[in-house]
Amino acid sequence: MLQVDFHVHSLFSQCGLHTILELLEKARALGLKGLALTDHGPTLGGKLNSVFFERFKSPFREVVLLKGIECNILDKDGTIDLPESFLPFLDIVLLGIHPNTPEGLSRTEYTEMLISAMEKNACIDIITHPNDSHYPVDYCILAREAARRGVALELNNSRILYSRTGIDETLLFLRACKEERCFVAVCSDTHALHELGLDESVRPLLESVRFPKELIVTESAFSAFDFVKSRAALK
């Protein structure tokens, strides 16, 4: 079980099933120390609103609420759908390639998209599910460029839990991150309550490649909050 979960969707994402309060209550019941609400950007129908970012406070002292967003790439130049007005209120920024990006492009093209996005948007903290077979990337190059910027690549529990990504492919991804000394963030990618904080599907993969614990930013609550703190100056 994760102590801090960086990738959680609420009803503000079209794919999320629960309210923010339901998610916080579940996190408290599970003993999580923190969670990041990272609903989708507007390109995928995310209903981000200023009231949440500017005014909402968690009613539970036991659980730190991190306010975030999972952005989408808009073009090959690395433009993302992050509303600039929300940036001062964001604790964490995720970026992933999603269905608004056409399939069938080359590995090089998808890799360059992500690198361009990191170059143009220093606020990006985590690249989500880079081992998506629909949008193949060069793991070594992406991990190298992410490591240069202190950006973490996500090891997404949901992708393995629901067999949406192959284990062999994920092991290749982890070996590349290990070789390039790139941070990895283990996340649940929660859409339903029972998924919150889960990491059981990917922990054996980390162990099988002997992935260095010091490169796992979600290894503990301390390392997770330290990662957020270290990235805060870029918001």
Q: What is the pLDDT of residue 14?
A: 82
Q: What is the pLDDT of residue 121?
A: 97
Q: What is the pLDDT of residue 146?
A: 98
d(CA 5, CA 198): 9
CA distances from 63 to 8, 12, 29, 59 (A): 14, 20, 10, 9
Contacts of 21 (CB under 8 A, 6+ apart): 59
Is 51:19 a contact under the CB 8 Å cutoff? Answer: no
DSSP secondary structure letters along 119-151: HH-TT--EE--TT-TTS---HHHHHHHHHHHTP
Q: What is the pLDDT of residue 233?
A: 87
- Other Cβ atoms less than 10 A from the Cβ of 216: the count is 21
Task: Give the chain's residues under pLDDT 50.
Answer: none
- Other Cβ atoms less than 10 A from the Cβ of 129: the count is 25
Q: What is the pLDDT of residue 100?
A: 94
d(CA 13, CA 24): 16
The tokens of 12 are what? 């503000």
Residue 50's Cβ-count burial label (10 Å; 0-12, 13-18, 19+) is exposed
Amino acid identity, residue 182?
C
pTM: 0.97
* 186 sits in which H/E element: strand 184-187
- Residue 160's φ and ψ, nearest 5 degrees, are -85, -40
Q: What is the pLDDT of residue 28?
A: 98
pLDDT tens sequence across 157-216: 999 999 999 999 999 999 999 999 999 999 999 999 999 999 999 999 999 999 999 999
Is 135:114 a contact under the CB 8 Å cutoff? Answer: no
Is 157:198 a contact under the CB 8 Å cutoff? Answer: yes
Q: Which residues pair with 4 in a beta bridge?
A: 34
Contacts of 155 (CB under 8 A, 6+ apart): 170, 173, 174, 184, 185, 186, 187, 202, 205, 206
Amino acid identity, residue 123?
C
d(CA 51, CA 207): 42
